[in-house]
Structure 1
Amino acid sequence: MKLEIRNVTKAFNGKIAVDDFSMDVEAGSCVGLIGPNGAGKSSLIKVISNVMDSDRGEVMLDGQDISKMKSQIGYLPQYPNFYNWMTATETLTFMGRLSGLQKRGLTRTIPGLLAKVGLCGEGDSKIGTFSGGMKQRLGIAQALLHSPALIVMDEPVSALDPIGRREVLNLIGKIKKETTILLSTHILSDAEEICERFAIMKNGRKIEDATITNLLSRNWKNKLCVKITAKDHRWINIVKKLPYVKEVEVIGSEVNIKVANIEENKSRILKNALENEVDIIKFETKSDTLEDIFHKLVVMK
């Protein structure tokens, strides 16, 4: 089922959290909604999940208003809230009954679902004994209870330790083969691992929407990385004034130099450095990483 988000706007106390956001998510895809904290990701996720209404715009699933399609949506909040005195089976039964599922069907479904999320044998364990990763996996089981066509996840691993993160990421990787996933995160490495496409948010607005291949191909070998000694930092001001240099970024002892034509001008940069008696530790072409691109889009602009 295709998800369509059209011109969604949401404000709180006069402050806009989501600003005229539009995007389509095709069936069977895994899309990452990424951006810094406060970008509006969680607010948008809640609107998409019909947890709260937008002020303007609309969200449709399979061509119908999202409010009529709640039975097709699985929602995992950033911090799933469970009763610690309940067992995992009791929790899923309780949540399933609240969603209108029949108890007989839940009795058959829940053991297999717990096994699917890596909680086999934990059905009778009380949630108060669960680790953070186990609770998050139980939250995913809850989201999958009714076999939804779309699963929406809000920062699914941000509060977990490295082991818990790895467990949940592996699980999401398996689930995405079966259903459409939209997840929000500010952890780029996680999004890069499991998502085929990214929508980047800043101040409530969508500022980029592309596949990782497309993002990286636009920035392939676009700059030179020159590592120099501390005494040669005076050369940086010389480089900035060269007519064929478009941008200079200094990170410690590394100088990243963006030039108009890298094949034509890299030898000119090297020649200039040697003429100025610069001690060169490293000289190489460099492609932007996803983190580099994100930094430029979100921080520098």
Structure 2
Amino acid sequence: MRLEINNVTKKFKHKTAVNHFSMVIEENECVGLIGPNGAGKSTLIQIIADILYADEGSIVLDGQNISKKKNQIGYLPQYPNFYSWMTAYDTLLFMGTLSGISKKQLHKDIPLILSKVGLSKEAQSKVGAFSGGMKQRLGIAQALLHKPTLIIMDEPVSALDPIGRREVLNLLKEIKSETTILLSTHILGDAEEICERFVVIKDGQKIEDATKEQLLHRNQESAIYLVLQKDDVDWLEKVAQLPYVKKVENYEEGFKIHVEQVQVDAYRLLQNAIDQKIAFTKFEIGVKESLEDTFLTLVVDV
């Protein structure tokens, strides 16, 4: 399976929601499409799912236009809609029939898919009584029912409480070993937990496409993080004048000292502090930036 998004543009009146966007997703990848609210994520997701039409560009799955491969795609909207009076089993039976799956096959597959998403005991319960997390799990079951090679999810956990979010995240961890996933979200912790690769979108444009390790490494700094006693803070004025120190700045409850070679310079700085009888309550070196820090660096205008 290979999904190609080629130079896609979508406009609504005077607003360009997606602007010449391109990317490729290979088989068995779990890709996070991340960006702030209003960045164009949902619009792009709906174009890929063939719900909206692009004004320019194309979406190709395994060499064919996406409209000819819809049976290979599972789609989970941010707020899946179900008939509240239907049971979970009947909901999947109804939607599977609409997708052209035979009832014989559905009666065989529905118990299996309900078990996969943890809803076996609720098979005959009405959807109207489901919690948000249960509805989202049923939505994932519906998206997986026809055995797609690609599943697309638009903010699958953003509207859930912590328990519902954990349920869905655990489920996504299980199914990503079997299915290629494109996950749209603005919750960085969720993306970091599930995805190996991240595509960052801002104002409808792709501004970054990298693995988690690449993003963190690119934004990792050679720095020393420390917390001092108040009586010793004046020492930092001397530290700022040291030849191997590039900058001293406030960081959380303490300070971040930017240096040239973190391992060597940390030893030199520590020795200097001992000579000056400086006391630390915290001294760390080479701490990586979080994915959230990296994301903010990319999308926030300075």
- The reply to whether TM is greater than 0.5 is yes
Quickly say closer, same or farther: Cα 1:228–1:300, change in 2 above 3 A: farther
d(CA) in 1 for partners of 2:273 and 2:300? Answer: 30
- Structure 2 contact 5–22 (Cα < 8 Å) conserved: yes
In the TM superposition, residue 125 of structure 1 has moved relative to its aligned partner by 0.8
1:201 CA displacement: 1.8
Q: Quote the offset at 1:267 in angstroms.
A: 4.9
2:294 corresponds to which letter in structure 1? I
SS at 1:174's partner residue?
Answer: helix
> Which residue does the alignment assign to 1:290?
291
For residue 134 of structure 2, what is the aligned residue in structure 1? 134
1:50 aligns with 2:59: no
Instruction: Say which is worse superposed, 233-242 or 118-127, in terms of deviation.
Output: 233-242
Aligned-partner residue type, residue 289 of structure 1: S
For 1:229 and 1:129, the matched residues in 2 are separated by 56
CA contact (8 A) 1:31 1:195 kept: yes
AA matched with 1:294 = F
**Residue of structure 2 in register with 1:152 after alignment:** 152
Q: Give 1:12-31 correspondences, 5 Å limit.
A: 12-31=12-31
Q: How does 1:38-77 map to 2 (within 5 A)?
A: 38-77=38-77
* Aligned-residue offset at 1:269: 5.0
> For the structure 1 residues 223 and 182, does the alpha-carbon distance in structure 2 shift closer, same or farther, using more than 3 Å as the test?
same
Amino acid of the structure 2 residue aligned with 1:71: N
- More displaced 10-residue stretch of structure 1: 104-113 or 278-287: 278-287
Displacement of 1:266 in angstroms is 3.4
SS at match of 2:111: helix
1:223 and 1:287 in contact (8 A); partners too: no
- Per the TM alignment, residue 80 of structure 1 is displaced from its structure 2 partner at its CA by 0.5
C-alpha distance in structure 2 between counterparts of 1:269 and 1:284, whole Å: 12
C-alpha displacement at 1:190, in angstroms? 1.5
* CA deviation profile, 1:165-214 (whole Å, cap 9, x unmatched): 11111111111111111101122221122111111222222222111122
Give runs of ≥4 in structure 1 deviating > 4 Å.
229-249, 267-279
Cα drift, residue 130 of structure 1: 0.6
Unaligned runs of 5+ in 2: none
CA offsets per residue over residues 11-63 of structure 1, 9 Å max, x none? 22212222222111101111111122222211111111111011221111101
Q: Which moved more, 1:147-156 or 1:199-208?
A: 199-208
Name the count of aligned residue pairs.
301
Judging changes above 3 Å, is the alpha-carbon distance between structure 1 residues 270 and 297 closer, same or farther for their aligned structure 2 residues? farther
Give the drift of 1:280: 3.4
What's the CA shift string for 1:270-300, capped at 9, x where partnerless?
Answer: 5777899865332221222222222222226
CA deviation string 1:247-284 (max 9, x = no partner): 55523422223333324543565577789986533222
Alpha carbons 2:221, 2:258 under 8 Å: kept? no
In 2 relative to 1, CA 276–8 (structure 1 residues): closer, same or farther, beyond 3 Å?
farther
What is the root-mean-square deviation in Å for CA atoms of aligned residues?
2.5
SS in 2 for 1:121: helix
Taking structure 1 as reference, are residues 79 and 261 closer, same or farther at Cα in structure 2, changes over 3 Å only? same
- What residue number does 2:177 align with? 177
- The Cα shift of 1:88 comes to 1.0
Paired letter, 1:51: I
Comparing 143-152 and 189-198, the one that deviates more: 189-198
TM-score by length of 2: 0.89
CA contact (8 A) 1:199 1:208 kept: yes
Which sits farther off after the overlay, 61-70 or 186-195?
186-195
The answer (yes or no) to whether the contact 2:232–2:279 under 8 Å persists in 1 is yes
The equivalent of 1:92 in structure 2 is 92
CA distance in 2 between counterparts of 1:49 and 1:263 reads 49
Alignment check: 8 A CA contact 2:80 2:139 kept: yes
What's the secondary structure of 2:71's corresponding residue?
A: helix
Identity of aligned residues (%): 59
Of 106-115 and 218-227, deviating more is 218-227
